[in-house]
Chain A
């Protein structure tokens, strides 16, 4: 809450967060902050801890040390379903849609904790993603990769989240579809959703985000505005191949 005193309001604050799986330290004292209305991207190689960080924020992993505050309230130690009800929703890596269930069922799973407004939310989601409306009675297993990614994002919207965590949305998608997905994320952000994104497509992610953090082996090694990261010679060398 001290940030509020200085006039800035952070929707998410992660302080000194450590997580281990057995003997492996996946996160070693991570600090990140996301302002309300921001897109922030986590960049880093495979195994840097991006997915661990997102899943720990969602309440899936046991926290060894540190704290997570969402809208000024501590959520560390809460269960995933409680955190989802508080307003955070994850779009998992590899989409995580239920392929034997219909598009409609997948969307309704996103609204599991608040089915009352589901009908109007579904109309809203279908107006943003008309392709999903056309496919609403199909099982998700019959969708293309891009459609599944849209479904996973639409499912997140069904929960009326305040913050969306998006894990590697571009993985395995054709370049044109990747552009579409980033446009969707930018649009959602302009509608007021705060977004924390993990991405290996560093150039596109930084173009889309306000700020970025660089992760290496469970640590944040750098955090700065996107333009600064794009112009940083070391980042260009390590992640942009320039």
Chain B
């Protein structure tokens, strides 16, 4: 039973990261109307920026974390005009051209990371950030968590709650959801479409940057290929939940995290990806439109 509880807690940390990534992806899909499946690669890029700044400043946590978050916001906002140019021309979700743009962006980032930073070797985040060296911060029976993992869990859950609060309780969130349901109708009630789209880039940038820091703490390392791996998972989660389904993404994201943690706890970590994908494969065969229905 203790193993189970321990793994569920670990799974919640991992799951919150999936939820943040999937919701960022869905927001861009729904509000900015782009298929940005390289969004997780942007997140990994921000992990690298945080790592570089940590190295340059002698592990100044404030500067490192800020640099990671700011770089994701900036990268999202800088690329927004390209995506918006296409969106303005087409006025609808244009899967083909935004996908090519996103794919290109992802390849450039991955190539850059594998050639120019740390000679392409995986990077390891300092103990000052991850708290690994301190040993267990929280210990109940066999359940033990490092300070970093504990922090990542709490911050991850707060961010997921905050994000859904923004989506369902604020003016901007209401505009996001209205544009997501009917962009043309949203225009007719006077919602500023491009401005709101831009806000969604900024919000997802902030989410991406924060997720990057959480991943740095939780995983302790990153490699150029991490973005691709996460990209596949995020795409799979959002399709299985139902493309654009925010609540579905929340449930499936958390479930995937817990599932992977349980496989690691009871079987072996090396198989957790394969098991996750087998289960997702079955889910998509049974419900091709996603477990909770597409919202597009």
Interface residues of A (CB under 8 A from B): 55, 58, 60, 79-81, 83-85, 89-90, 92, 96, 98-101, 105, 108-110, 112-113, 115, 155, 159
Contacts and interface: CB of A to CB of B under 8 A. Distances in A.
Most chain A beta-carbon contacts within 10 A, residue among B171, B174, B189: B189
Contacts of B187: 60, 80
A80 B189 CA distance: 8
A85 B192 CA distance: 11
A108 B174 contact: yes
A60 B178 CA distance: 17
B171 A92 contact: no
Interface in B184-214: 185, 187-192, 195
B153 interface: no
B175 interface: yes
10 contacts: A60-B188, A81-B195, A85-B190, A90-B189, A96-B182, A98-B185, A101-B174, A101-B178, A112-B190, A113-B190
Interface in B164-179: 171, 174-175, 177-178
Nearest to A60: B187
Interface of B: 171, 174-175, 177-178, 181-182, 185, 187-192, 195, 295
Contacts of A55: 188
Given A79-B192, A81-B191, 14 more contacts: A80-B190, A81-B190, A85-B190, A90-B188, A96-B182, A96-B189, A98-B182, A98-B185, A101-B177, A108-B174, A109-B174, A109-B175, A112-B175, A112-B189
A22 to B, nearest CB: 14
Contacts of B171: 108, 112, 115
Contacts of B189: 84, 89-90, 96, 109-110, 112, 155
B294 to A, nearest CB: 12
Nearest to B195: A81
A80 B194 CA distance: 12
Q: Which 9 A-B residue pairings sit nearest by Cβ, starting from the closest?
A: A84-B190, A81-B192, A96-B185, A81-B190, A98-B181, A92-B188, A100-B181, A98-B178, A90-B188
A81 B178 CA distance: 14
Nearest to B192: A81
Contacts of B188: 55, 58, 60, 80, 90, 92, 96
A60 B295 CA distance: 25
A159 B191 CA distance: 12
A77 B86 CA distance: 22
Given A100-B177, A101-B178, A83 B295 contact: no
B185 A83 contact: no
A59 to B, nearest CB: 9
Given A108-B174, A112-B171, A92 B181 contact: no
Contacts of A89: 189-190
Nearest to B189: A109
A108 to B, nearest CB: 6
Contacts of A100: 177, 181, 295
Most chain B beta-carbon contacts within 10 A, residue among A85, A98, A115, A155: A98
A90 B191 CA distance: 12
Nearest to B172: A112
A60 B191 CA distance: 12
Contacts of A96: 182, 185, 188-189
A214 to B, nearest CB: 25
A105 B181 CA distance: 13
Contacts of A83: 190
A112 B191 contact: yes
A198 B188 CA distance: 16
Nearest to A108: B174
Contacts of B177: 98, 100-101, 105
A110 B188 CA distance: 10
Nearest to A58: B188
A84 B171 CA distance: 16
Contacts of A155: 189
Nearest to B168: A105
Contacts of A112: 171, 174-175, 189-191
A208 to B, nearest CB: 23
A72 B44 CA distance: 54
Contacts of B182: 96, 98
Nearest to A158: B189
B170 to A, nearest CB: 10
A153 to B, nearest CB: 13
A103 B266 CA distance: 47
Contacts of A85: 190
A216 to B, nearest CB: 25
B52 to A, nearest CB: 41
Contact of B174 (A79, A92, A105): A105
